[in-house]
Amino acid sequence: MTPEQIDRVLAESARRSPPQEVDAAVVERAKASLASSLEPVRPLRSSRVFLTILFIISAAVAVLGAVVFGVRGLPVLSAIQRAVIFPMLIAAAAVAGIASVREMRPAAGRRIGSLALALSILVPLAAFAFLFRSYDPGNFVPDGVKCLTAGLACAIPAAIIAALVLRRGFVLDWPAAGIAAGTLAGLAGIGMLELHCPILKAPHIMVWHVAVVWISGLGGWLAGWMVQTAKRRSG
């Protein structure tokens, strides 16, 4: 059957179909039902506003955490180490912030939460391997557990606040949003550790400091998965 024949069949079917009359009372009831369910909503703020808010949250948690635990790491860092570490963390936080904001709006762009997590792990690892040349393990586990605990203690409140910000949008994929927000929170934790921790040994920084980021990212994914599952069951 050719396309022209298909068009003729469809046109003939439409011509022969009897007109459907709709009860006017049914139409009015439908209009009344729709009107009663409509409520005014506030437009969602721009992505730049939310990105700025998330960045300020991350930076504030990192600085306040360092003040609480003690700023002992910053004074022992060289000028080159400072010039590499902190711009790197700011750039990573910007990527994680963009990934978080994109999850707040449907069709806001490519989802990059997993990419943000990967970059926030691999780039610091490469930078720390280049900047710190001492591989003396020292008190590897005891000191490492202390830093990991302190870093996560900062990442958790940052993640909670970031989740509250995400709720201001319309998140469709909470596990993906959790990865993005968890990565951003983990960067707040590692930022605090770079200000606080005076241990400049490569194994300590590459294992325990970076662990804050991937644990936070995976924890965010798990929290998002739990939220998504709960919504599906309740809906």
- Give residue-wise pLDDT tens across range 32-83: 666 566 666 667 788 899 999 999 999 999 999 999 999 999 999 999 999 9
Q: Is the pTM of this model over 0.75?
A: yes
Which residue in 93, 90, 101 sits closest to 177, CA to CA? 101
Residue spans of the domains in the chain: they are 3-37, 47-234
- What pLDDT score does 4 carry? 65
CB distance 212 to 174 below 8 Å? no
The 10s digit of each residue's pLDDT in 175-232 is 999 999 999 999 999 999 999 999 999 999 999 999 999 999 999 999 999 999 998 8
Residue 44: what are its φ and ψ, rounded to 5°?
Answer: -70, 135
- What pLDDT score does 22 carry? 59
The label of the residue with tokens 């003040």 reads 67
The label of the residue with tokens 């995400």 reads 166
- What pLDDT score does 101 carry? 95
